[in-house]
Amino acid sequence: MKALLLTFALLGLLIAGCGPAVPADAEIPVTPAVAPLAASVEFTPVPSATATSTVVPAIPATVTPIPTASATPSPIPTATPTATETPIPSPTAEPLRPCDQRIPDDGLLPIITQKFAMSRDFAPSDLVKLSDALPNRVTLGYPSEIREMVLPPLAEMIAAMESAGLKPFIISAYRSYAAQSIAWNKWLQREPDRAAILSAPPGHSEHQLGTTVDFGSPELPGIVGEEDIQFHTYFYMTSESRWLEENAHLYGFTLSYPRDSFELTGFYYEPWHYRYVGVDLATQLKDTGQFLTANQFETQPPPCIP
Ligand SMILES: [Zn+2]
């Protein structure tokens, strides 16, 4: 497990919030800085567990204060008066916790955005290896993990894509809080002013839920004109992306961060980032054109105090 953390951490270096964030309206995004990392990370399996144990624990401590939280201190007081005045609907309702103490439920629909995070202590309990159901050409040999319930539909979807002549692969799936911390710290060091745009602070990535996958396409380097590129907004032009846009909902997956979702999600367009939400909701979202976070805010109360 710890060996995995480091591997994901390395992956996290290039995929930060999941990938380079690029303004949604920018048709020609600037993401080349990511490519060199991809080369070094992609084929570094890092088998040594010893290295991991020294690296991982050190990181979260530095990261704990999530900077975005300080911007909105106001919503806290309002929770208290409501509780005293409303005696009825509170049998199951627990008081809202600060987001850094939040443990999401086991369901598929916890809200995770740049505003609403989860605890560093949260990790899914039912992670399985992608390699249990997917071949090396799809996992790239990475020791990626995902929640158990997601693996069968994912494998089914990949099989359908391959039957259609496509060659999808999976660059990232579950990422631990520690792995995300390492990625976030790297961005803070490199571009402190833009870290919040380029990356997700630890606790704010859907990858920590274990239900989210980043896809890759062998067509991307040719389209972008960079041999080592793994993540680029131009992914939307690949055959794999076009297929996913049309069909992913049939397998329960939805694109988390479409164009113009920034205001609610805090993330720019990430055409490679799909989250499993089940066929019913994914189909509803596909049919209505609504994106997941917008639907969640309509159907769920705020999950925590940012
Ligand atoms: Zn992602």
Q: How far does residue 76's CA lie from ligand 1's centre (Å)?
A: 30
Looking at residue 273, its pLDDT comes to 95
Which pLDDT does position 221 carry in this prediction? 97
Strand partners, 284: none
Question: How many residues does this entry show for the chain?
Answer: 306
In whole angstroms, give the CA distance from residue 145 to residue 131: 8
Q: Which residues contact 214 (CB under 8 A, 6 or more apart)?
A: 15, 18, 19, 170, 171, 172, 173, 207, 231, 272, 273, 274
Contact indicator for 8, 46 with CB cutoff of 8 Å = no
| pLDDT score at 196 | 66
Q: Find the 14 Cα to ligand 1 centroid distance in Å.
A: 11
CA of 207 to the centre of ligand 1 (A): 6
pLDDT for the residue 121? 96
CA of 205 to the centre of ligand 1 (A): 8
**Residue ranges of E strands in 160-295:** 169-172, 212-216, 253-255, 273-276
- Residue 289 has phi, psi (to 5 degrees) of 80, 5
> Looking at the DSSP assignment, which residues form a beta bridge with residue 98?
305
> What phi-psi label fits residue 99: left (phi over 0), alpha (psi between -120 and 50 degrees) or beta?
alpha
Distance separating alpha carbons of residues 88 and 72, to the nearest angstrom: 29
Distance in Å, CA 213 to ligand 1 centroid: 6
Q: What three-state secondary structure class fits 305? A: strand
pLDDT the model gives residue 22: 39
Which phi and psi (to 5°) does residue 299 adopt?
Answer: -110, -10
Local confidence pLDDT in tens for the 306 residues of the chain: 444 444 444 444 344 445 443 343 333 333 433 433 333 333 333 333 333 333 333 333 333 344 444 444 444 444 444 444 544 554 556 789 999 999 999 999 999 999 999 999 999 999 999 999 999 999 999 999 999 999 999 999 999 999 999 999 999 999 999 999 998 898 889 878 766 656 788 999 999 999 999 999 999 999 999 998 888 899 999 999 999 999 999 999 999 999 999 999 999 899 999 999 999 999 999 999 999 999 999 999 999 999
In Å, how far from its chain's centre is CA 19?
9
Q: What pLDDT, on the 0 to 100 scale, is given for residue 246?
A: 98
Domain positions in the chain: 2-64+71-76+95-299
CATH architecture observed for domain 2-64+71-76+95-299: 2-Layer Sandwich (3.30)
Q: How far apart are CA 34 and CA 14, in angstroms?
A: 6
**CA 209 to ligand 1 center in whole angstroms:** 11
Residue 126 neighbours by CB distance under 10 Å: 13
| CA 275 – ligand 1 centroid, Å | 9
> Which pLDDT belongs to residue 154?
98
How confident is the model at residue 195, as a pLDDT?
67
20 CA from centroid of ligand 1 (Å): 10
DSSP letters for 25-41? T-SS---TTHHHHHHHH
What is the distance between the terminal CA atoms of the chain, rounded to a whole angstrom? 30
Compute, in angstroms, the gap from residue 97 CA to the centroid of ligand 1. 26
The pLDDT of residue 167: 98
Q: pLDDT at position 184, please?
A: 87
Cα dihedral: 168, 171, 176, 178 (round 10): -170
